[in-house]
Amino acid sequence: MRPSTSRISKTAALSAAALLALTACGGDDNDENAGNGESEVITVGIAGEVPYSYLNDEGEPEGATVALSEKIFGDMGYEVEAELVDWDNLIPGLNAERFDAISAGMSITPERCEEAAFAEPEIMYTTALLVEEGNPHDVQDLDDVLEAQENGEDITLATLTAGIEAGYSTDMGLDYDGVGSADEGIEMVQGGRADVFALTAISLTEMAGDADGVEVTEPFVQEIDGVKQYGAGSTVFRQDDTETLDEYNEHLAQLKSDGELGEILGEYGFTDAEVPPEDMSSEALCAGDLESLQDIEE
């Protein structure tokens, strides 16, 4: 089925051949509207996280996942509109039919898979830490932060409340403060209200590049209980929207096969190392089967 929210409208013209075909078929309201020279608009929820999805200086949606949505949904016959949403409200907003899909590089986790349906992996990621300039606590990964806390150091960690780093921190027994946006996390470190902000490495590098008084550590893959926490993000749909998800995955598979996925992501600073291998599946990540990913080279 197509997305069913009220935000789907009709805007772009179809070809004359398509119009004839639709007129001949007759049918539901979508066909009737398309026959009047209009096609569907799909609304995606985005988060203000560079370089995944954000609003540029002109207030227009931009980023790697936005470009990917425009390519795939465009090939599916949609026009794409974007709505900026706080990270914590992305899945709730999707399930409340505020928008039709999430295009924010959201990582695929078992917990999230219980609430929504993920496309096949689109972007692999690593983690980094934002710290005060000079890195006074000398932390390079979350293990170092945990060691500092266990040694009684006064060190405060911040993560996105619904971010993957919050999950890591919970599993490791870290004390941390949740924030609603990446900008808030950066401001906390700049203002001395947090010593460390953990986030996707490429996002921190992009967002903190011109920030005063802070620096970003080298990217790392966090290890928990001897298992490296490899992960990937993808576009997210409601669980009952299986037809749109399946069609999206078909187009995504073609982009991977053609090498075009890497080209789209590369425009926003991603490298080949961050393009998921074709055999990495959302099914395995939803099941938490990280053991099968341990042979991936960093």
pLDDT digits (tens, 9 = 90+) for 169-182: 999 999 999 999 99
Q: Is residue 6 part of a domain?
A: no
The pLDDT of residue 9: 33
Residue 292, pLDDT score: 76
Indicate whether 298 belongs to any domain: no
Report the pLDDT value the prediction gives residue 296, as an integer from 0 to 100.
62
3-state DSSP helix/strand/coil % of the chain, to nearest 5: 40, 20, 45
Q: What is the pLDDT of residue 34?
A: 44
End-to-end CA distance of the chain: 39
Tell me if 7 is assigned to some domain.
no
pLDDT of residue 271: 83
**Residue ending a domain, choose from 193, 208, 228:** 228
Are 21 and 120 members of one domain? yes
pLDDT at 96: 98
Are 33 and 119 within one domain? yes
Please write the tens of the pLDDT for every residue from 214-225: 999 998 989 999
Report the share of the chain in percent with pLDDT over 90.
68
Is 250 found in the same domain as 119? yes
**Tokens in use for 279?**
């055999």
Residue range 108-132: mean pLDDT, rounded? 95
Q: Which residue has the higher pLDDT, 36 or 112?
A: 112
Looking at residue 58, what is its pLDDT? 94
Say if 10 falls within a structural domain: no
**pLDDT of res. 241:** 98
Do 255 and 210 lie in one domain? The reply is: no
Q: Verify that 158 and 289 share a domain, yes or no.
A: no
pLDDT tens profile 65-93: 999 999 999 999 999 999 999 999 999 99
Q: Which residue has the higher pLDDT, 291 or 121?
A: 121
Distances in Å between the alpha carbon of 280 and those of 5, 48, 182, 234? 31, 27, 27, 12
pLDDT exceeds 80 at position 294: no
Give the confidence band of 25 by pLDDT, cuts at 50, 70, 90. very low
Whether residue 260 sits in one domain with residue 214: no
pLDDT value at residue 19:
32
CATH number of the domain enclosing 59: 3.40.190.10
Answer yes or no: is 8 within a domain.
no
**Predicted confidence (pLDDT) at residue 17 exceeds the cutoff of 90:** no
Interatomic CA distance for residues 245 and 81, integer angstroms = 18
In a domain, 50, yes or no: yes
Q: Work out the average pLDDT over 155-164.
A: 94
Residue 221 is predicted with a pLDDT of 86
Q: Is the pLDDT of residue 166 over 70?
A: yes
Whether residues 242 and 112 share a domain: the answer is yes
- Residue whose entry in the numeric block shows the structure tokens 């403060």: 177
**Residues 71 and 91 occupy one common structural domain:** yes
Q: Interior CA angle at 125 toward 121 and 130, to 5°?
A: 150
Enclosing domain of residue 218: 127-228
**Least confident range of 42-46, 228-232, 233-237, 241-245:** 228-232
Q: Indicate if 102 and 219 belong to the same structural domain.
A: no
Same-domain check for residues 238 and 118: yes
Last residue of a domain, one of 213, 228, 243: 228
**Residue 1 within any structural domain of the chain:** no
Residues 182 and 245 in one domain: no
Q: What is the mean pLDDT of residues 222-239?
A: 92
Look at residue 38 in the predicted model and tell me its pLDDT.
64
CA 160, 218, 153: angle at the middle one, nearest 5? 65
Instruction: Write the CB contacts of 184 (distance below 8 Å, at least 6 apart in sequence).
Output: none
What is the residue-averaged pLDDT of the chain? Answer: 86
Domain membership of residue 131 (yes or no) is: yes
My answer on whether 162 and 214 are in the same domain is yes
Q: Is pLDDT of 11 > 60?
A: no
Domains in the chain, number: 2
DSSP state for residue 275 in the 8-state scheme = S
| pLDDT score for 142 | 98
The domain boundary, picked from 197, 228, 259, lies at 228
Predicted pLDDT of residue 224: 92
Question: For residue 32, is pLDDT > 70?
Answer: no
